[in-house]
Structure formats: structure tokens, C-alpha cells
Structure 1
Amino acid sequence: MPELRTVDAGEVRIRVATKGEGPLVLMVHGFPESWFSWRHQIDPIADAGFTAAAIDVRGYGGSDKPYPVEAYAMEKLTADVAGVAQALQPGKPAILIGHDWGAPIVWNTALTRPEAVSAVAGLSVPYLGVPTRPFTEVFDALFTQKGRFFYQAWFQKIGPPEAEAEADVRGFLRKFYYAISGDAPPDAWPQKAADATLLEGLVDPDPFPAWLTENELDYYVAEFRESGFRGPINRYRNHERDFAWLQGFKDRVIERPALFIGGTKDPASTAFGGIADPIAAMRPFVPDLRGGHMLEGCGHWTQQERPDEVTALLLDWLKGL
């Protein structure tokens, strides 16, 4: 096990799992996960001569959990990442790796605080530049106005999404993880009416895919039973606030050496079907993209579903920096 400790990131205290010595590689998870989602990568990265560090994003696990929705704005989360990096290795830029929401967090840290970042990698979610409109407007036009369910629209309701997830944490995680994994059939994420709830129509697989054991799931369940889901879901309630903040950086690109790893069965990797080639779409905004990989048959949980392949790609990239 890595060492678990809590560091002062500036505005909040963040729990971080660390192992090894050398240049800092800081890993940032997504929804609904934990530092634990990087369990397969921490040892190999540490063994390769780096300080491997994986945080609990604010709102999760052992990190602080402020109550207000606005406490989970992208501006706050990028500041947390920069604050943790400075606490662990003062005065030195960090290598950042993020998955799911962690990917936009590290992409935007590199965009807005380039002095704090020496290189950046995103898993699952490509970087497509500063947004031209809030994402709420995008999914409203594509889904809600057409009477179709979209999970991020459901998350805009304060209260019911948390209650649904917290009523049966294990069942929620099993169904949600499975529905967008590479093991699930296409209809595991069902088409349904706009006024549905997230869990309606999702199945609890038996058995669960082998990439997440019952003991590993136990860890996640214990974390979310303790922390709840308000903080994690609050991240989805900041699209307008994030849009307004990022307009101050619309003339920038990410100039640091970068890497992208996605999955051909991950809806997030293709922006829910909106882009055919995410790697090509990234290049205008990430000119030093040194590698782009779409893992055949891989679903959303990139570094957990394909740990050996993802770790090998990360190590090759890290050693080439």
C-alpha cells in the first residue's frame, strides 16, 4: 500500500496516496472513484524512478468536502492540484495524469497554470479547447429538448441524484461501473425519457467483470458510504461557472508534452459520439501531443479495465519526457 497522508492544498486539505522518490507524477481520478482507481499504476510508476501520487479529489474519500455547489468549480479543482503539487515538491512543476473528470482537471491545470506543469496526460476525455458555450446548453439541445435522458441533466437536480446513489451505494456503483465498461452490451446504457432517473434500466451484472474484484469494490463502497455523493455530483453543477472562467484563456493552447489514452467503447472518448477521431481533434489544441491511443474494446474505466496496457503506455511516455 502507498502512504496515505493529508496535505494543505491552500483552500482545502487533500488526501494523497504516495510512493517512491523522484519527479512528481500526480494522478487525478474521476466520478465516482478515488485515489484507489490508480492502484495498478502507483507501484510501477514509483519503481520507474518517480514519486507516484494519487489524490482524492475534494468531496471524495479523505479529502475535505465543502458544501456549496460553487466549491466544486473547475477553477477550485485546478488550484487544488497545483496546491498539492507544491506541497509535495515545492518549487518544481509536476507531471499530471487524469481520468474522466480528472482529465479536464489536469488539462485545464496545464492550460491555466503552465508554470506548475511539466507534462500532462488525459485518459478517457480528450482536450478539445476552451469551450464556446456551456456544456449544459449542449446536452440540453441534444438530449433534454428531444425528450431524451442525459445523466448530466439528471445531476443538475440537487437532492434526488444524491438520494438515489446513497440508498444503495454498492448497487449504484456496480450498475454505473458496468453500464459504461467495455464488458457491457450496447443496450446496458439504455435510451429513456428525459424525466427518468439515472438507475432506471441499468442492470446489476452477475458476475461482475473481473477487472474489479469484490474486495476492490468494498473499498469504493466504504469510501462513498462515509463521504456521500453531494461533493462528487456538485462537479456537474458548475458548467456555466467553468465556461465563464475559461473564457479568460481562450487564446491559449496546452503547450506541455501530452498523452491521450481512450477506449473505443468509452462514450466519453468520442464526446458521446460527436467526434470520430479524438486524437486528430486534439492536435490543434495540444500541439505537443506525443502519443494518442484508442484501446480496442476498452470502456470508460481505462486504467482499471486495461491496467497493464495503460501502465506500459504511461511508462513509455514518462521515460521519454
Structure 2
Amino acid sequence: MDAKMIGNKIAGARKKINMSQSRLAGHVFVSPQAVGKWERGESMPDIITLNQLAKILDVDLNYFSENRSSPNAISTVEETIPEVNNLANSHQHQLLTNFSGNDLAKTDFAGVIAHKLKFNGSNLRGSDFTGADLTGSSFLGSDAHEASFQAANLTDCSLSATDLTAANFDQAILVRTKFYALELAGAKISNTKLMEVKLSKTDLRKTVFENCIFEGVDFDYSDLRGLSLDGQTFTGVLFHNAALNETTFKGATLKNVSFRSTFALTNKYYRAIKTICFEGATMDKLTYASLKGLGADLSKVNLV
């Protein structure tokens, strides 16, 4: 691969969604100086980082190959997709669904019914999506600080590399929703059932979960250290490769829940499992046996 060509393509895609070098750097966990070197052709991201960049910049991975130079590989603000809303005894409506790169801070989206919206590199700080049906929509590289998704339908939505600090997800519908590399400090997910949701590579240490039911949820490579999950229900949940030091499940219900790492079990992993608090938790025999084999303290656990 040609470093200069790759750098030009990274810069072009970044600018298309109005994202700064500093913000892009934060999403892939490198310094702004590293992004600058990539764009000047002085160095190149590795293939894993390049794959992450493709997702964040909303381009196909082939966009970075030498024979792909078409700007059509990048979603632009001008691009529109017809979305049909079928309402009883009403006319069909076409909606502009691509809001990428727009400044939409404190915009009122409450109650809208619009599927497959695109918010890539958008400013959504303080925006209100209360009660909105956003099925199949994507939020990538956006700023949704303090946005409200209360009672919003986020079925099949994808939220990647987006700042959701202090966002409100109370009573949100979270079905097959994908959370990837997000900022969720102070965000509140409460009074909801998470079904087949995937939370990947996300720092959840300062996220608030209250009165939730987790069914088929995967906490893949996420950081749950010190997180309180007390009194909540977990069925068919995977905590594989998650950081779990000092996590608490006091009074929680766990059925068919797996904490076993998919990689080699190290002494560090065993030590982390021993720090988890299961005081007063209720669990089935298989979950109990798995945790017992990992050395967890199950002295105050109830079996069902």
C-alpha cells in the first residue's frame, strides 16, 4: 500500500463528515499527531486500525485500495434515500434520511417515525429523540452528549464511536442494537429490556444501569470495572473478554450466563473474577458451576 495515497484518502473521508483529526484520533485510541502523520503519508495505520477507520469514516474497506478512488464510497450530506412511512389512511411520505455532518444541537426529533436515518459526524448535543421510532438508524462519529432517547425505538440501530456522555435511554427499546467504542460516562440506561444487544469495546465504568433485563446481551471487550449491576436480570448473557474487576451483581438473577474468556485463562483473569461481588444473587446450576470453576466467591449465592 502507498502511504501517501492512504493518507489522502483518510483525510478526504474525514473532511467529508466534518470530523477533526483530534476527534478521529480519540475514536481509534491514538494521538492527533499520529492521525496527522497518516494523512501526510509519513506513517500508516495497521490493518486492524484501518478497518476501524473504515467504519468510523463510513467507507468500504476497499476505498483504501489503490484502484478505488471514487468519492461515491463515502456517504455525503447531499445523498438522500427515500423512506416510506405507511400510515393508515394517509399519503406516503418521503423523508430525507441522511443527516451526516449537520449541526443539529438541541434539535427536536421527539415522536418522529423515520427508519434508517444516518447521523455520521453530526452534532446532536442535547437533541431530543424522546419516543421516536429510529429503527435501523446509524450514529457514527457523532456528538450526542446529553441527548435524550427516552422511550425511543432503537431496534437494529448502530451507535459507533459516538459521544453519548450523560445521554438518557430510560425505557428505550433496545433490540439487536449495536454499541461500539462509545463514550457513555454518565449515560443512564434504565427501566428497559436489552435483547440481543452488543456492547463492544465500550467503557461502561461510569454508565448507570437501573432496573434492566439483559437477554442475549454480549459485553464483548467492554470495561465494566467497578460497575454496579445490582438487582438486575441476566439471561443468556456473555461477559467474555470483559474487564470485570470489582463489578457487583448483588441481588441479581443470572441464568445461563457465561463469564469464561474465549482466550487462555490467565492468573490475572482468575484474580479479576474473584473480585466480583455476587452477594444475594440468584443463579442456575450451570452458571454457578462455571463461576465456581473460575474461583468466584459464591458463598452468599442462591441456587434455582
TM-score with structure 1 setting the length? 0.24
Between the two structures, name the one with larger relative contact order (CA 8 Å, sep ≥ 6): 1
Structure index of larger Rg: 2
The structure with the largest helix share of the pair is 1
